[in-house]
């Protein structure tokens, strides 16, 4: 792999802006120079960043699909389609996220992701699987299929984990359901992120779950018991308990800008992560789609179940989530970049390899214009997306 330098950029380094260039060698970041005009080393090509932003590649913990494909399609072609589409929007790492489905379909998805990861991945890498359901609340199904909802079955989870001991990275479940605390403790012992979602949990339920090892709140504010001043609920726990890492769908449809600002003020900077929750409709035109066996209609880019009208995932990309969060909160681009890269890397235990721009780390990089439009994406120093010249 030929070494290269990306020059004339503003680099996001640990939440701050550094003007200069980044050199890449053998798939890793070799050095960061404050001097954008530095001479390239022997054999090093130079890419002119044209005064744009160079950020760590985005890490999406919660994504179901994109550009017509869904991870539960369980096939190589579908995974290429999804990872190619999201790489075009700056994502370099993602968790293949399932839905509330039958044990057989969940197992088939695990099989397919494991097989896909066994060979070189041509676009964004799949770091593992996020199991969203089937152990969720019947009262907060959102766009999950109620036909497949069950209370926690540790024997199912043990079987999946035994088959693929390092594949499951996160699980969304309702912590108030019978058997959930035992499952949360089991997940925590194995380093798997237990996250509350599609839940009717009260504040005390969430505290007990955090005591057992709960570490996340799935798409905060959505599909859960909301904040009330006498019963703070799951949202109140997510806002106030620093053990809980909060996901946010920053598309302006799932969460109002003011609620984004509230979350940004309430959480420590290291405990908030941007996600897409994107479904197969992402990147496509308005029309009819499917999610978890349920009919979905997309109008003006917003997806809802045909039956009931619940929001059904999103058409968001990480690039757009970063833009919206910056606009809604007034955070700087480097500060918001931490929510899209460093924080999810920390949650997945990948911080030593990726999630920030530092010498020795994988060259997972995204180059954006000053307006935050993606023009280039690299995974381990290999360019997986290059925008057409304007």
- Binding site annotation covers 44? no
Question: CB–CB of 137/105 below 8 Å?
Answer: no
What phi and psi values does residue 379 have, to the nearest 5 degrees? -120, 115
Question: CB–CB of 263/239 below 8 Å?
Answer: yes
- Binding site annotation covers 132? yes
From the candidates 70, 205, 277, 364, give the one annotated as an active-site residue: 277
Which residues are CB-neighbours of 311 under 8 A, at least 6 positions away? 142, 143, 222, 253, 254, 302, 303, 304
Which residues are CB-neighbours of 33 under 8 A, at least 6 positions away? 20, 21, 22, 23
Question: CB–CB of 44/374 below 8 Å?
Answer: no
- Binding site annotation covers 194? no
- Binding site annotation covers 312? yes
Spatial separation of the C-alpha atoms in residues 352 and 217, rounded to whole Å: 24
- Binding site annotation covers 51? no
Question: CB–CB of 388/379 below 8 Å?
Answer: no
Q: Where are the alpha helices (DSSP H) in the chain?
A: 76-87, 103-117, 154-163, 180-189, 203-212, 233-240, 257-266, 318-329, 333-340, 342-348
| 277 included as an active-site residue | yes
Which residues are CB-neighbours of 123 under 8 A, at least 6 positions away? 80, 83, 84, 86, 87, 379, 384, 385
- Binding site annotation covers 229? no
How many Å is the Cα radius of gyration of the chain? Answer: 20
- Binding site annotation covers 230? yes
Question: CB–CB of 328/335 below 8 Å?
Answer: no
- Binding site annotation covers 222? yes
Name the binding residues. 132, 143, 198, 219, 222-223, 230, 254, 311-313
Name the binding residues for Zn(2+). 132, 198, 219
Name the binding residues for substrate. 143, 222-223, 230, 254, 311-313
Tell me the catalytic residues: 277
């Amino acid at each position: 792999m030929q070494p290269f330098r990306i020059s004339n950029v503003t680099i996001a380094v640990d939440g701050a802006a550094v003007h200069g260039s980044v050199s890449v060698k053998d798939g890793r970041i070799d050095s960061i120079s404050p001097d954008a005009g530095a001479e390239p080393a022997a054999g090093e090509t130079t890419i002119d960043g044209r005064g744009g932003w160079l950020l760590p590649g985005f890490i999406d913990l919660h994504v179901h699909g994109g550009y017509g494909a869904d991870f539960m399609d369980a096939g190589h072609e579908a995974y290429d389609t999804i990872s190619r589409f999201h790489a075009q929007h700056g994502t370099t790492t993602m968790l293949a996220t399932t839905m509330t489905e039958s044990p057989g379909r969940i197992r088939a998805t695990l099989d397919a992701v494991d097989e896909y990861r066994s060979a070189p991945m041509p676009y964004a890498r799949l770091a593992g699987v996020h199991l969203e359901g089937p152990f969720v609340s019947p009262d907060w199904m959102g766009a999950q299929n109620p036909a497949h909802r069950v209370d926690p079955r540790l024997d199912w989870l043990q079987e999946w984990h035994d088959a693929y001991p390092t594949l499951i990275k996160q699980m969304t479940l309702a912590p108030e359901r019978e058997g959930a605390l035992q499952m949360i403790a089991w997940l925590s012992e194995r380093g798997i992120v237990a996250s509350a979602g599609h839940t009717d949990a009260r504040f005390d339920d969430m505290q007990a779950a955090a005591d057992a090892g709960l570490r996340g709140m799935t798409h905060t504010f959505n599909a859960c018991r909301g904040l009330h001043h006498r019963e703070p609920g799951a949202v109140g726990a997510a806002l106030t308990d620093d053990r809980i890492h909060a996901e946010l769908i920053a598309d302006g449809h799932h969460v109002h800008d003011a609620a984004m600002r509230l979350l940004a003020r309430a959480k420590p900077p290291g405990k908030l992560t941007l996600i897409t929750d994107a479904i197969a409709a992402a990147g496509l035109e308005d029309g009819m789609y499917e999610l978890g066996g349920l009919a979905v209609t997309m109008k003006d880019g917003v997806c809802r179940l045909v039956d009931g009208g619940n929001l059904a995932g999103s058409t968001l990309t990480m690039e757009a989530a970063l833009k919206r969060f910056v606009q809604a909160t007034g955070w700087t681009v480097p500060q918001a970049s931490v929510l899209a890269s460093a924080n999810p890397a920390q949650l997945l235990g990948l911080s030593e390899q990726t999630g920030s721009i530092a010498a020795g780390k994988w060259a997972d990089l995204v180059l954006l214009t000053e307006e935050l439009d993606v023009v280039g994406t690299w995974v381990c120093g290999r360019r997986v997306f290059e925008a057409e010249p304007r």
